[in-house]
């Protein structure tokens, strides 16, 4: 158990951030999956810009690595273009 007031606060803030990061990451993964499953090119291309924005936000907050974000965006763009 923490011995200092600041350590107790750090535990609380870490938990809040962990839950928020988990939510944002899971939401993005579900959106990516929706694009990969989509068969209509128009529908997938409409969703693509929103998903790329979500991926960029995760990379900016260091929830995912910048290179992983770049790879995801590239693969999704290629997938949508091939539909």
Q: What is the C-alpha to C-alpha distance for residues 51 and 31, in angstroms, rounded to an integer?
A: 6
Instruction: State the CATH number of the domain containing residue 45.
Output: 1.20.58.110
Count structural domains, the chain: 1
What pLDDT was estimated at residue 18?
Answer: 96
pTM for this prediction: 0.82
What pLDDT was estimated at residue 2?
Answer: 78
What pLDDT was estimated at residue 81?
Answer: 93
Query: What domain range is 10 assigned to?
Result: 5-82
Q: CA torsion angle for 15, 19, 67, 79 (degrees, to 10)? A: 170
pLDDT in tens, the chain (83 residues): 778 999 999 999 999 999 999 999 999 999 999 999 988 899 899 999 999 999 999 999 999 999 999 999 999 999 999 98
What pLDDT was estimated at residue 83?
Answer: 87
């Amino acid at each position: 158990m923490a011995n200092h007031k600041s350590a107790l606060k750090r535990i609380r803030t870490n938990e809040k951030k962990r839950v928020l990061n988990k939510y944002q990451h899971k939401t993005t993964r579900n959106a990516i999956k929706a694009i990969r499953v989509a068969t209509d090119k128009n529908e997938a291309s409409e969703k693509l810009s929103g998903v790329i924005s979500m991926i960029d936000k995760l990379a900016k907050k260091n929830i995912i690595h910048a290179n992983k974000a770049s790879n995801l965006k590239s693969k999704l763009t290629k997938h949508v273009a091939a539909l």
